[in-house]
Chain A
C-alpha cells in the first residue's frame, strides 16, 4: 500500500512538472502606404532634328532625326505631359515664323500613341517615353542654314 501511495505521489509530481505553460499569443500588424511616385530618367537627351526635302519641316521624325527618350517609373495615379519648347535658338538668317510641336509616345507597361496632350498613367509600371519635336514653316517660308535648338520639358505629376 505504501508503495502504491508513493507511486501515486510520484505520478502527481511528474504531472505537475510536465504541465504545459499557458500559451501566450500576440499579433503584430504591419501597415504600409505607397504614395504616388514618378521617376523620370533621361536616357537619351540628345535629340536631333533634320530638315525635310522641301525645307519646311525641321523634325526628329525626318530621315536621320533622333528622338529623345525617357524612362518613366511610376506607382500609378500620375499623369505625364509635355510642355511647349523653351530656350529656342535659330540662326540669324531665319526671320520667318516657326510653329513648334512637341509630342511624345509611351510604350511599356502603358501604351500611349503619339500625342501632345496629357496622359494618365493610372497603374504601376515602367515605360519608355519617346519625345519628338517638329518645327514647321508655312507658305513659301523655309528653314535657313545654321543651328537650331530647343528644350522640351516632360512633366510627370
Chain B
C-alpha cells in the first residue's frame, strides 16, 4: 500500500505547490492506485489576514459524505498560510471513484445569516490490478 500511495503523492505534490491566497489546490486530479484505496494531498490556504478554522470534508458526486481518512480534518490556519492535508479514499469495491474534496471555512459566529465558503476539488481515483 505504501508503494502505491507514494506515486500519486509525488505527482500531486508537484502539481500542487502551495501559494498564498489560494483556498485549496489542486482542484482537479486523477490518481492511479494498486490497492483498495487512493490518496490525494491537498493544500488548503487561508486568504484572510487573520487566523481561521478550516474543515476538510470528502463528498461523492451527490455531495453525500464519503468515509475517507483525512489528516487533519479540522485545524486552525494562520493568516495567508497553507498546509498539506492527506486524504485517503477507499474504492469500496469499485474500479474507480469520483469524489469531491472540500475545504470549508467555518463562519464567524453571532451573525444572523452566516456565509460559509466551500472550495471543492474534483478527483478521480482509478484502481489497477
**What are 6 A-to-B residue pairs whose CB atoms are below 8 Å?**
A41-B47, A47-B111, A49-B113, A70-B117, A149-B114, A151-B107
Contact across chains for A152 and B23 when beta carbons are under 8 A apart: no
Q: Chain B binding site: helix, strand, loop or mixed by DSSP?
A: strand
Whether a CB of chain B sits under 8 angstroms from the CB of A133 is: yes
Knowing A41-B47, A156-B119, A157-B100 are in contact, say whether A36-B114 is a contact too (CB < 8 A): no
**Contact (A131, B115) CB under 8 Å given A39-B21, A156-B120:** yes
Q: Which residues of A contact B62 (CB under 8 A)?
A: none
Q: Is the CB of B111 within 8 A of A45?
A: yes
Tell whether, in the assembled complex, residue A42 and residue B113 are in contact, meaning their CB atoms are under 8 Å apart: no
Give the chain A neighbours of B22 by CB distance below 8 A: 37, 39
A-contacting 9-mer, from B2-10, B25-33, B71-79, B87-95:
B25-33
B129 at the interface (CB under 8 A from A): no
A interface, how many residues as a size bin?
A: 35 or more
Q: Does residue B127 face the partner (Cβ distance < 8 Å to A)? A: no
Instruction: Say yes or no for A46: interface residue by CB 8 A criterion.
Output: yes
| Residues 56-96 of A contacting B (Cβ, < 8 Å) | 60, 68, 70, 73, 78, 83, 87
Given A47-B111, A157-B122, are A38 and B116 also a contact pair (CB < 8 Å)?
Answer: no
Inter-chain CA distance A78–B122, complex, in Å, is 10
In the bound complex, CA of A156 to CA of B105 (Å): 12
A150 is an interface residue with CB less than 8 A from chain B: yes
Are B113 and A38 in contact (CB-based, < 8 A)? no
A154 within 8 A of B: yes
Residues of B close to A68: CB separation below 8 A = 113, 115
**List of B residues within 8 angstroms of A49 by Cβ:** 112-113
Contact A155 B118 (CB under 8 A): yes
Chain B interface residue count, Cβ-Cβ cutoff 8 angstroms: 31
Is A39 in contact with B23, judged by CB distance below 8 angstroms? yes
Taking a contact as CB atoms under 8 Å apart, the answer to whether B100 and A149 are in contact is no
A153/B27 contact (C-beta < 8 A), A45-B107, A48-B113 known: no
- In the assembled complex, the Cα of A38 lies from the Cα of B15 at a distance in Å of 15
* Minimal Cβ-Cβ distance residue in B for A48: B112
Is B26 a contact of A35 with CB atoms below 8 Å?
yes
Which residues 19-64 of B sit at the A interface, judged by CB distance below 8 A?
21-23, 25-28, 45, 47-48, 63
| Residues in chain A near residue B116, CB distance under 8 A | 151-154
Whether B27 pairs with A38 at a CB distance below 8 angstroms is: yes
Query: Is B113 within 8 A of A149, CB to CB?
Result: yes
Please name 11 further chain A to chain B contacts, defined as beta carbons within 8 Å, in addition to the given A37-B27, A47-B114, A131-B115, sorted by A numbering.
A35-B25, A39-B22, A68-B113, A70-B117, A73-B21, A149-B112, A153-B104, A155-B119, A155-B120, A156-B118, A157-B119
